[in-house]
Structure 1
Amino acid sequence: MAAAIVEQAFSDSDINALLFFSILVFAQQVGFASLEVGNVRAKNARNILLKNLIDKLACGVCYWAVGFAFAYGSGAKTGGFIGHSDFFLSTFTRETATLWFFSWVFLLTATTIVSGCIAERAQFEAYLAYTPLMSVLVYPLVVHWTWEGWLTTFAPHCRYLDFAGGSTVHLLGGTAGFVAAWLIGPRIGRFDGDDVKPIVGHNVESMTVGTLFLWFGWYGFNISPAYLRGDFRTTVAARAAVNTTLAGCAGSLTSILVVWWQTSQWDLRICCNGVLAGMVSITGLCPHVEPWAAFTMGTIAGFVYLALSKLLTRLGVDDPLDASAVHAGCSLVGLIGLGVFAKPEFVQQHRTGDPRICGGFLYTSRGGEQLGVQILGVLVIMAFTGASSFVLFYTLKHFGRLRVDQATEIAGIDNIDHGGPAYPDFVILSHE
């Protein structure tokens, strides 16, 4: 997208659609807040909720001032590496205003993912430091590369494809979250030698409602890019809606049935995360595949989520929401699967007239090139995001600004840093 999108004229109906679906995407923030607070212990509820609110505030200011210019400004002078125009939305038209709002709500999702990965032991200041980095550098550069920058031009016949943010949001957020969780270390009591102690959240109702809100907002997430370009916008939007539904259902059913087969237990948390895993997997290619392929993607994502969740535990990485497994791991399923399952005519419906469309190798002899482009693209994005996040979080750790002290973690961050418990009229019984 980038500068080419900024410069094109949108119809009234396109602007109305983009604004409406962007508001749906913003509703996902209700889902993230509910999901995260339900998955942490009551003594840290205020902390995680405040992080979710501050995220919106800091991202809004930073993205308005600098981030949008880097993401969607002209990159002609930098070889498609970074934009360099429209700082502080200096060129204000209805198109740039709509695109700013549209891309800002996507940025919020990427940054919010990280808060779940380091929940219950991160200093509030650490998250304040991370949000500007994401808003002005990491997310904008990845967006610029992915949607009109150098990642779309380096291969002779195929462009890197990501329809709705599989890489710019989920792979990016999940990778950064993994690095942060690895560097900050596990919560006290999570790992005791070879023993792994589950630390359960305090509110399954909030967790479930959060999942449903995320599902609701995901339709805005995966449908909205259809109205940015192409001659078949409603066809693309309808296919995206169907495939998003099927992938989410497949991911959840796969996850919960596998866990039931292993443990004879119907696990609500697994069911919720399975929905998210399936929808993450289809985000990068939702209108580019047949419904059966979307169901296949979701099924694979269910297995990948469970496998990566176990791998994180074996590695001693404590991710309270399994956010890095869900978002980074399952986004790879779709982004790489695009080189297998994408139908060239479906891609052309969105990118009408683009000569650099290949598609998956099930449908075209150039599918191998598309697959190679996709693999190289995700490796570049993971490397850049991982390195940027490592530098920041390692620096914070080195200066003692990443993790709260042991006494604060045991007492609960709410009680020390936020004026008291979230539920002052209730006695919280600890199972630790």
Structure 2
Amino acid sequence: MASSTCPADLAAMFGANTTDAAGAATFICNKLSDTTFAVDSTYLLFSAYLVFSMQLGFAMLCAGSVRAKNTMNIMLTNVLDAAAGGLFYYLFGFAFAFGTPSNGFIGRHNFGLKDIPTTNFDYSYFLYQWAFAIAAAGITSGSIAERTQFVAYLIYSAFLTGFVYPVVSHWFWSVDGWASATNYDSLLFGSGVIDFAGSGVVHMVGGIAGLWGALIEGPRIGRFDQSGRSVALKGHSASLVVLGTFLLWFGWYGFNPGSFTKILAPYESGNYYGQWSAVGRTAVTTTLAGCTAALTTLFGKRILSGHWNVTDVCNGLLGGFAAITAGCSVVEPWAAVICGFVAACVLTGCNYLAVKFKYDDPLEAAQLHGGCGAWGIIFTALFAKEKYVNEVYAIPGKTSRPYGLFMGGGGKLLAAHIIQILVIFAFVSATMGPLFWGLHKLKLLRISPEDETAGMDMTRHGGFAYVYHDEDDQKAFPMRKIEPALSA
């Protein structure tokens, strides 16, 4: 719909000699409005396609990080995260997340996309948010890889994308959410939570869900020896890990800059500086955080282990991206460098604790997405710049709102972000923890030791993904089809 002032303002410019100044003005203003909607929708759809391409990145990263005998299994789970997530997010998830008007806890409109499009969002918005939902499910699948029954993947993926993730995203992203930065009628601490693209909403949710799944299942066979010492169960393909990392890097440019959802929005009409500049800045901060984390990990691992390890560098890079995701739109590029450096240190520390407590996560997903995601939330509360906060999160009728503690903005934003970390951890633990525990008690969670030793590709999926030539494994496990154990 055209601005109500546009036709009147434009008509006044035509002059007295124009036959139908009002009609001409209305026609031009409507065309300009239509163009704005079309440009913004195209931008959002393109961003959705970029985020969806991250599923291929997750699939390649997961496949390369597991042993060859489980390659088909992990790639199938990634496909079904998208497929099952699409159906359940369509039926329930989108409504729980963004069905407005609603209460602060959960949405209650637009089930099955009923009454879409509305004045609030179009189909493109659903597609974009679905791509985010399945990203959270993809994070969890990495934590429980190589030892989880297939039916458990289907159950947790449907529950996570259909209920758990949507409720959390409603809290922090919906205009009705109790801690949302866009709930102008009731801002938490006068600020709300600035989690722009989801360090908490996406990464912490997926990481904590994976944490509980891996804890309840226990480590893979052989991950720790009889004396409790760590034994590396290396992934079978560094090439796939690097390929997956670059695909995720590419998709992150839809994940973070795309979260503006609009690009044709001037901050000051007629000026070269507008939301398109903020989109570009967000892409830059995302890049710098990832690059810094990668280099920090490279030299840190060299000092600690004596090796230049490409897999660790890839995980460090992704940790930097997960951390900057919350504040990417409201911090300066120099602050993103600090974010990436600390994220690499957080990931290294979390991995050390995981080994110490005999926690096994084949992709370091809980450490990377949970740990670095939590750091990203704190980082935003410390370094958010006043100018950028007021532009990206402008409150109608107000000129300023709380911003980063280290930038002179006080502690209100930090208080809101600490609450975000606590409530996400509590809610995901209270929902996904019992789900995984129930699956465990029903013997639906972990595969049998015989199936795990032989590899799920052979026992559950009809054969290996590759022509397999590992002589040691060939001697121990001849290449023949093995039926699933009756106890599984």
TM-score normalised by length of structure 1: 0.94
Amino acid at match of 1:168: V
Match of 1:172 in 2: 205
> Matches of 1:123 and 1:297 in 2, distance apart?
37
Match of 1:194 in 2: 228
> Is 1:358–1:364's contact at 8 Å kept on the other side of the alignment?
no
> Matches of 2:116 and 2:416 in 1, distance apart?
35
Q: What is the correspondence of 1:7-406 to structure 2 with a 5 Å cutoff?
A: 11-76=37-102, 78=103, 80-93=104-117, 95-147=121-173, 148=175, 149-152=177-180, 153=186, 155-192=188-225, 193-228=227-262, 231=267, 232-353=274-395, 355=398, 357-365=401-409, 367-406=410-449
If you compute each CA radius of gyration, which structure gives the higher value, 1 or 2? 2
> Matches of 1:348 and 1:23 in 2, distance apart?
29
> Matches of 1:181 and 1:32 in 2, distance apart?
18
Closer/same/farther in 2, CA of residues 22 and 430 from structure 1, 3 Å limit? farther
> Is 1:75–1:81's contact at 8 Å kept on the other side of the alignment?
no
> Matches of 2:470 and 2:116 in 1, distance apart?
51
> Matches of 2:37 and 2:402 in 1, distance apart?
29
Q: What 5-or-longer segments of structure 1 have no aligned partner?
A: 1-8
CA positional deviation for 1:430: 4.5
CA positional deviation for 1:411: 0.6
CA positional deviation for 1:337: 1.1
> Matches of 2:281 and 2:122 in 1, distance apart?
27
Amino acid at match of 2:259: P
> Is 1:74–1:83's contact at 8 Å kept on the other side of the alignment?
yes
> Matches of 1:197 and 1:266 in 2, distance apart?
19
> Matches of 2:134 and 2:390 in 1, distance apart?
29
Amino acid at match of 1:285: G
> Matches of 1:220 and 1:55 in 2, distance apart?
19
- The percent of aligned pairs where both chains have the same amino acid is 39
CA positional deviation for 1:386: 1.5
3-state SS of 1:11 partner: helix
CA positional deviation for 1:357: 2.8
CA positional deviation for 1:154: 5.5
- 1:412 matched to 2:455? The reply is yes
CA positional deviation for 1:165: 1.2
> Matches of 2:187 and 2:149 in 1, distance apart?
41
3-state SS of 2:297 partner: helix
Amino acid at match of 2:372: C
3-state SS of 1:151 partner: coil
| Higher alpha-carbon deviation: 145-154 or 172-181 | 145-154
| Bigger RCO (CA 8 Å, 6+ sep) | 1
Amino acid at match of 1:176: A
CA positional deviation for 1:107: 0.6
CA positional deviation for 1:381: 1.0
> Is 2:43–2:262's contact at 8 Å kept on the other side of the alignment?
no
Amino acid at match of 2:245: T
CA positional deviation for 1:75: 4.5
Match of 1:4 in 2: none
CA positional deviation for 1:353: 2.9
Amino acid at match of 1:160: V
CA positional deviation for 1:257: 0.5
Deviations 1:210-263 (A, max 9, x none): 101000111110110123486432121011000001000011111110110122
> Matches of 1:430 and 1:175 in 2, distance apart?
36
Deviations 1:97-122 (A, max 9, x none): 01100100011110000111000000
> Is 1:287–1:346's contact at 8 Å kept on the other side of the alignment?
yes
Amino acid at match of 2:178: W
> Matches of 2:229 and 2:394 in 1, distance apart?
55
